[in-house]
Amino acid sequence: MSRLIVVSNRVSPTQAQGASSQGGLAMAISAALREYGGIWFGWSGQAAPAFTGTIAMQKVDGVTVATTDLDDQDIQEYYNGYANRTLWPLFHYRIDLTAYDRSYGAGYARVNGRLAETLHPLIEPDDLVWVQDYHLIPMGRELRERGAANAMGFFLHIPWPARELLVTLPRHRDLVEAMFHYDVVGFQTAEWCDAFKAYVLHEAGGTILPDGRLSAFGRTVRAEAFPIGIDAQGFRHLCDTPGGQASFQRMVESKAGRRMLIGVDRLDYSKGLEERFLAFERLLQDHPSLRREVFMLQISTHSREDVPEYQEIASRLDALSGRINGAMAEMDWVPIRNVHRLHTREELAGLYRAADVALVTPLRDGMNLVAKEFVAAQDEADPGVLVLSRFAGAAAQMREALIVNPFAREDVADAIKRALGMPLEERQRRWRALMDGVETDDLMAWRDSFVHGLQQARDAGRQTG
């Protein structure tokens, strides 16, 4: 069996353990590597005075992790710059927040080259190479230039933007051309995959071949949707662990008979947190009888704090919850509990189970695993209701959720009202259908279908180099 080489921006030994505080992606990768063997390669997350390409190898819980440090300029231009101030906002439809600095583009190209140079000697001829996410789009091309003829795939965890937005990026053709050095490129949904195809057909003069592959730039690639899932059974079992039960009990006591709405997000402007708070405020204004009866627990963990836009959204959000709470709270009730703590997976599972409604209302999201985790954690005898943004990739699969437009405050408020009043029979019917989907399209199915695509590329002996 071929080994798997997974390349992702950030790798740490605790991620490889699938530590209990880690999110879906780290667990997905560790699970894949445990099954197939191979190496997980990426940046250590550490800064070195100068880039040396020295590799630190460790074996953690059956996963071989190879990391290298980057220098400060690399981190600034590649990670904080091009990845998180250019591609992330652009791919989430926020051209108003997108930084188009040349130095960022240069840093992105340089770091992808450096990482490819470091990784290339570790790759054996039969290995399957699986590159993760927007930080590393040019990695495949860099490896090909160094002679790698392996089957290579790329998976994009975030949306692919409409071509009208993508063309605002200087050197957008170069970025798309880089995608054609892979054998397989995967997207979360058919919608993002179609957006990629539309660019290829209408901007790059490409064509679709009879076997479905795309042809452009003198190369071909297979582009397909591979919706990521969660380890549904594993997550469900977390509710029965001591940590899961303790957080469930603690939350039930703290609810004191009230209804609870829950939101769990990385603190990011794409997650629609301000809009969510405003929708909740609207609900309480329109239905004063719900005051003291319902509250929102919003857990939003700080992320990317070196990027100014993230500092701004964090302080705006605190100010907004402060304003709403100040205006509405009573001596024994606060409408929004605004929490920034990182929770363990067990604690999260217990919190989801204690919630009556989940608010997953991003303005744009590749998939959103919180929606799936919430469903997996519910008690089937008395399940909660999922309110889900139509702009999350998850909405393409989770049709039995209450699907909302997160930009329309009144619509979200109406959906929350409906969720709070939904009869048990309807909640159970919707939950069953959602749970069936979460269990079928789980993490293992995602991993296996992508790796299968790579194996097919290898067996076809096609070398795009």
Q: Does 23 bind ligand ADQ (CB under 6 A)?
A: yes
Which of these is catalytic: 157, 172, 181, 343?
157
Cβ distance 385 to 424 under 8 Å? Answer: no
Q: Does 309 bind ligand ADQ (CB under 6 A)?
A: no
Where does this chain touch ligand ADQ (CB under 6 A) — which range of 255-263, 285-293, 369-377, 422-430?
Answer: 369-377
Q: Give least dist CB 303 to ligand ADQ, A.
A: 8
User: CA-CA distances (angstroms) from residue 64 to 38, 146, 274?
Assistant: 7, 23, 41
| 157 classed as catalytic | yes
Residue from 1, 5, 2, 28 nearest 16 by CA: 28
Q: Does 30 bind ligand ADQ (CB under 6 A)?
A: no
Q: Which two tokens stand for residue 379?
A: 């008690």
Q: Name which position in 11, 115, 264, 404 contacts ligand ADQ (CB under 6 A).
A: 264
Cβ distance 190 to 221 under 8 Å? Answer: no
Q: Does 299 bind ligand ADQ (CB under 6 A)?
A: yes
- Number of residues located near ligand ADQ, criterion CB under 6 A: 21
Neighbours of 274 (CB within 10 A): 16
Site for ligand ADQ in 137-196 (CB under 6 A): 157-158
Q: Does 342 bind ligand ADQ (CB under 6 A)?
A: yes
| 365 classed as catalytic | yes
Distant-in-sequence, close-in-space partners of 338: CB < 8 Å, separation ≥ 6: 298, 300, 317, 318, 321, 325
Residue from 41, 36, 40, 29 nearest 3 by CA: 36
Q: Does 267 bind ligand ADQ (CB under 6 A)?
A: no
Query: Which amino acid, residue 46?
Result: Q
Where does this chain touch ligand ADQ (CB under 6 A) — which range of 122-130, 275-283, 367-375, 452-460?
Answer: 367-375
Q: Are strands 219-225 and 336-339 parallel, antiparallel or unpaired?
A: unpaired
Strands in 267-390 per DSSP E: 294-301, 336-339, 357-360, 385-389
Q: Name which position in 136, 232, 369, 413 contacts ligand ADQ (CB under 6 A).
A: 369
Q: Which two tokens stand for residue 50?
A: 């100068």
Q: Does 355 bind ligand ADQ (CB under 6 A)?
A: no
Q: Which residues of 30-62 are buried (b: 16+ CB within 10 A; e: fewer)?
A: bbbbeebebbbbbbbeeeeeebeeebeeeebee
Which of these is catalytic: 74, 265, 365, 442?
365
Q: Give least dist CB 132 to ligand ADQ, A.
A: 9
Q: Which is nearer to ligand ADQ, 109 or 392 (CB)?
A: 392
Q: Does 6 bind ligand ADQ (CB under 6 A)?
A: no
Q: Does 465 bind ligand ADQ (CB under 6 A)?
A: no
**Active centre residues (catalytic):** 157, 365
Binding site for ligand ADQ (CB under 6 A): 21, 23-25, 157-158, 228, 264, 266, 299, 301, 342-343, 348, 365-370, 373
